[in-house]
Amino acid sequence: MLLLAIIQLLVISAVSAIYDVTRYGADRTGRVPCTDAIARAIKDAEIHGGGLIHFPSGRYLTGPIELKSNMVMDVGTGTIITFLDDPALYPPLDVTLPDGQRRSVPFTPLIRAWGQKNVGIRGNKVIFDGRGEIWWDRLPPPATRPIFVNFFDCHNVVLKGFTIKSSPMFNVNILHSSGIVIDGVRIRNPESYHGRGPNTDGINLVSVRKVHITGVDVATGDDCVVFNAWGYLKERVPTEDVLIENSYMSVGHGAISIGSVTAGGLRNITVRNCVIDGTTRGLDIKTNRQRGGTIENINYYNITMNRVRWEGIALIDLFNDNDPSWKPIGDQTPFIRNIRFDNIRGSCDRNPILVQGLPEAPIENIEISNTDIRSPQPIRLENSRNIVINGRRY
């Protein structure tokens, strides 16, 4: 809670002046595109060192929005912002940031901040509509589509109090950043098993540190909340020091997932006081021999899960890998260790606990206590050691 308060204070105190987009010509009826008017407000704020980019309550129609340092997108209560679906408005981007990092994407994100600090989006009962249905039909998998909210190489980020619906692809995607608060964000996309909403990860965080996620409500077409860690920048960049709490995940593939991009390593992650309802997997850690990295010091407390279709708890070193034979340990060998679960309760349709390690690198030091996941199938442990489940050692 202290981290949440400090980061929000840092971001809000960095902005002072208010830049009302309607004063720059933005139409608030939702009938006239206002991309250029919003860009003018942002440019003026940038020239003067930042500020609140204020959207008075209403309806807006726009193309992509780019935020700069010391800038908060401040959206009035009950506002609906709908994004245009013309692909020409979202061209490929290839940018070198001031610190030398290069960022390339096949489509311009709907809302982005790259290489910035003290940035955010806040609202109350606000809806961002990405018109994803049109994009899903136009570019079905494996094609990529625009990301909705995309922050890269940013420091001190606050996302608070809004809903994203119908995202073309990932909803919230934050990479190589630190000091992140996601508070009270709601995400709604259909589940992809019904042919809609593919690749719409809810909150996808990659190589981040000092993160607090609280009060989120996610129903989407891929993983609800997922943590990854890059290994193909100048160096391996971990994800670490993360707290997710008091949140609700429904539909989706994994409710709260770690991996499968793990080369940078993931550590010191705590998940507590969350409810999972109707996802494919409950709590899962997934990687393979091509991903590498060490996943350690992960803690789950007080989790309720209902109607989970597959495993309740899954730790998998053979994700999308069907070769269980022994291999030499190398730079791409993954390691999963020191994982704790306490007070996990609910039901699932497959194994309540699945631990599937590698013969050359067993999953180790797993403690599961006060846990009761009802299931028609048994616990399944493969290539693991020092596993303790409700006081029994395996």
**Residues recognised as catalytic:** 253
Cα separation, 333 vs 55, in Å, equals: 49
How distant, in Å, are the alpha carbons of 144, 171, 185, 293, 362 from that of 267? Answer: 29, 24, 24, 10, 18
How distant, in Å, are the alpha carbons of 187, 194, 320, 394 from that of 211? Answer: 18, 32, 28, 34
Burial class (CB in 10 A: 0-12, 13-18, 19+), 234: exposed
Cα separation, 51 vs 69, in Å, equals: 9
**Identity (one letter) of the amino acid at 198?**
P
Helices (H), the chain: 2-13, 35-47, 132-138
Q: How far is CA 343 from the centre of its chain?
A: 24
Residues 6+ apart with CB under 8 A from 279: 224, 249, 250, 251, 252, 253, 254, 255, 305, 308, 309
Q: Which residue has the tokens 């996309």?
A: 189
Query: 287 with 336: CB under 8 angstroms?
Result: yes
Cα four-point dihedral sign 229, 231, 237, 238? positive
**In the structure encoding, which two tokens stand for residue 213, read together?**
């996620």
DSSP string, 162-209: EEEES-SS-SEEEES-EEEEEES-EEE---GGGT-STT--SEEEES-E
